[in-house]
Amino acid sequence: MWPLLFGAWLVAIAPPARPTVPNPPIQRPPDSLRVPILVYHNVQPASEARGIRAPDLTMRPEVFATQMKYLKDRGIPVVSLASLVDALEGKRTLPPGAVVLTFDDGRVNQYERAFPILKQYGFTATFFPFTHAMDRNRRYFTWAQLKEMQAAGMTIGSHTSLHVRVDRMKDSAQMRAEVSGTRQVLIERLGPAAGQLFAYPFGALAPAGDSAVRAAGYRAGRAYTGGPWNSLATRWRLRSFPATEDMKRFVSIVDPGAAASAPVRRPPAQ
């Protein structure tokens, strides 16, 4: 008993860590599943990322490859976001330790740099482009690329049309156009599987956004932070982790049992 109490006391007085983005919460809420959803943005060499300062908005391809290799080497199952929603609904069980991979904004570097690595490892992921950029801006996916990725086992979802915050939409007509309208466009172009999932631009949440996502016919909406636990109560704002190059943090999210003991390879030097 005493060593236990002493350990707890030590933990209590240890200085708090100061991550740049939130770490996993310690307590397990009731009726929920621990299936971390990682959110990637740009996957690009440092030379292309000039001006992007936020650690969660760009990752070098070699670090992304290191993270995917870690999942493969450790046998960590990568499951689709839709199968996590199935599991939250009680329709299926997921393998222990499963994780979900998602990509926001539809940047073409995801197609060029991340998609080949996902294929190499046989991993599935969900991509959330904002539809207005498709075929208009060469820094973003084309519809043909989205179709190719979908045919290779990836899922496509909505991130609105113009990448607007749902908490700042000026009226319900804009909300409908951005949330429901993009779902129709995705379904017309890519089929019904592309009408299941929504990701909130900037992770901005609002009750009206939840209602719009639900009313539009999506199965779930993904938020941008919040940790590894989800339940039916969070299905319209699923919690997730912004992915960063920090391998120690990555391991603590995807492989918490190993985080305390295993040596962690540093990402390659810049």
- Based on its alpha-carbon atoms, the radius of gyration of the chain, rounded to whole angstroms, reads 19
The Cα–Cα gap between 245 and 251 comes to: 11
**Nearest to Zn ion of 106, 267 (CB atom):** 106
State in angstroms the smallest separation of the CB of 210 from Zn ion: 18
**Nearest to Zn ion of 71, 166 (CB atom):** 166
Token pair for 180? 């429901």
Residues engaged in binding Zn ion (CB under 5 A): 104-105, 201
State in angstroms the smallest separation of the CB of 175 from Zn ion: 17
**Nearest to Zn ion of 42, 196 (CB atom):** 42
State in angstroms the smallest separation of the CB of 76 from Zn ion: 25
State in angstroms the smallest separation of the CB of 105 from Zn ion: 4
The Cα–Cα gap between 82 and 92 comes to: 11
| Residue of this chain nearest to Zn ion (CB atom) | 104
State in angstroms the smallest separation of the CB of 159 from Zn ion: 6
**Nearest to Zn ion of 159, 249 (CB atom):** 159
**Nearest to Zn ion of 129, 267 (CB atom):** 129
Question: Which of these, 76, 121, 68, lies nearest to 228 by C-alpha position?
Answer: 76
**Nearest to Zn ion of 98, 107 (CB atom):** 107
**Nearest to Zn ion of 70, 140 (CB atom):** 140
State in angstroms the smallest separation of the CB of 80 from Zn ion: 20
